[in-house]
Amino acid sequence: MNKYLLLDSGTLTPQGLDNIRLEICEMKKDTMHTPFFTEDYFREPARRWEVRIDNGYPNVIYDPAECIYRCYYTLCTYDPASANTPLSERKITHYEPLPGRITSLAYAESRDGVMWYKPALGLVSFEGNTENNLLFLHAHGTGVFLDEREEDPKKRYKLVTKVEGPDESGFMAVNFSEDGIHWGEMVPWPEHNPRADSHNFVFRDEKDGTFRLITRTWKNGVRISVMSESRDFIRWSEPVEILRGRRFSAQVYSMPVFQYEGLYLGLPSVFHEGDRSSDNFDTVDCELAFAAEPEHFDWVCPGSPVIRRGKGRYPGEFDCGCIFASAPVEIDGQMWVYYMGGNGQHSDFRESSLGRASFEQDKLAFYTAMDREKRGLLTTAAFRFFGEDLEVLAEMGEQGYLEAALCTKWNRPIEGFGYAECEILPGEGGYYKIHFKNRNIQDWGQRPVLISLRFQDCRIYAFRGALELQSPKYG
């Protein structure tokens, strides 16, 4: 059984759409447990190396072999501007970072995904003491992942980072670990040195085994998302642009990516500049992007956050100013996105903390009628059927209805497969079965067919069944 999320524009026929719009499904925050942890520089006992977590760039991973959740996060271990400004004074002054900030990599872990601990690892000396949770100093925007396809046990965990040097003389590097805690020496990239002053998110493509790095560079004065590839994790290609925002007002700051039902889905952090009088100036929202192939991403609902920032301004709710996400992890059948939330504007004083939000399976975006008093029309691209199963994921209101037809063109239902012959029957997991009273879908054979839906007071998310999408019209 194949599944197709309708947020993918390649699943639709644009000529067969009427009175519908795509809306984002905001993830549900875990308000009962969050924030899980925060900066501890001004706490007792003080963690003096946690002077400013800043964006955090979290990498949250579940290790099934050890039954443990791991969080790798970026922080500033040296930042005089933050260290010398108590929390009580931060409301009346502004953050002005001084040269020489040191960015590093820290570690936390959890057995249940809720109670998090920052263990004393004894690995890195900070102010003459190794009783801290640091993994590396001078490591900017480190991306970490568990490579479950790796045959060498010493390389189960992999990372990519920007190693900081004096006067911006840093370089890209990779590293390997068996247990995710004890790492070897940094291995510099043999060529290419992108700006990469952001989350260097890395993963292994489920489709072809390619390692992919999503990082950031600059073009025309704005931040953009770029991708580099590698087959051996040592030699990387020159980064190429994969997503650009909307001028200064919506720049792509970072973008974790995960694979879901045949798509690449991104969680770009969108930075707002360009208008100091705007309510969202100098804040960072988390949106949703998608790609059928990783070389180019599109926005799902531009300007609509998938994780909404909290209320207030500094010091407001822990995530009122900025949100930087990790890729999702599944816990007890639920998809959780952990993220670092900042309680102030990006370029000012803020304290960052770890939170999380969840989404229901297959419910990331939906189509609904623009004018709720009128019927909406949604027509798919061409499919071929190899069985009878056809289901649609939908939610209907009290006055809602849904009907389907199989068509040769968006406005040409096939005899016996029209709206009048359609039966919509409850299925499992929110899906509805589409049947036709006197015909079997297989009667149509392997010829291409479009699925047309007419609905009102309804949300349409996805299709699944014994069907396969044909080559998009505009490939």
Alpha-carbon span 412 to 207, nearest angstrom: 36
Query: CB under 8 Å to 99, separation ≥6 — which residues?
Result: none
With bands split at pLDDT 50, 70 and 90, how would you rate the model's confidence at 475? very low
- Token pair 């037809």 is found at 405
DSSP secondary-structure letter at 307?
B
Nearest to 96 by CA among 351, 348, 350, 352: 348
Domains and CATH numbers, the chain: 2-24+365-469 (2.60.120), 28-359 (2.115.10.20)
> Mean pLDDT throughout 307-315?
97
Alpha-carbon span 97 to 319, nearest angstrom: 21
pLDDT in tens, 386-396: 999 999 999 99
pLDDT in tens, 129-160: 999 999 999 999 999 999 999 999 999 999 99
pLDDT in tens, 349-403: 999 999 999 999 999 999 999 999 999 999 999 999 999 999 999 999 988 999 9
236-240, 270-274, 324-328, 442-446: range with lowest mean pLDDT: 442-446
Please determine, for residue 473, whether its predicted confidence score (pLDDT) is greater than 60. no
Q: What φ, ψ does residue 93 adopt, rounded to 5°?
A: -140, 175
pLDDT of res. 131: 97
Alpha-carbon span 199 to 160, nearest angstrom: 10
Max Cα distance, the chain (Å): 80
Q: How crowded is residue 42: how many other Cβ atoms within 10 Å of its Cβ?
A: 17
Beta-carbon-side half-sphere exposure of residue 451 (alpha carbons within 13 Å): 28
Query: CB under 8 Å to 329, separation ≥6 — which residues?
Result: 60, 61, 62, 69, 113, 335, 336, 338
User: Which pTM does this prediction carry?
Assistant: 0.96
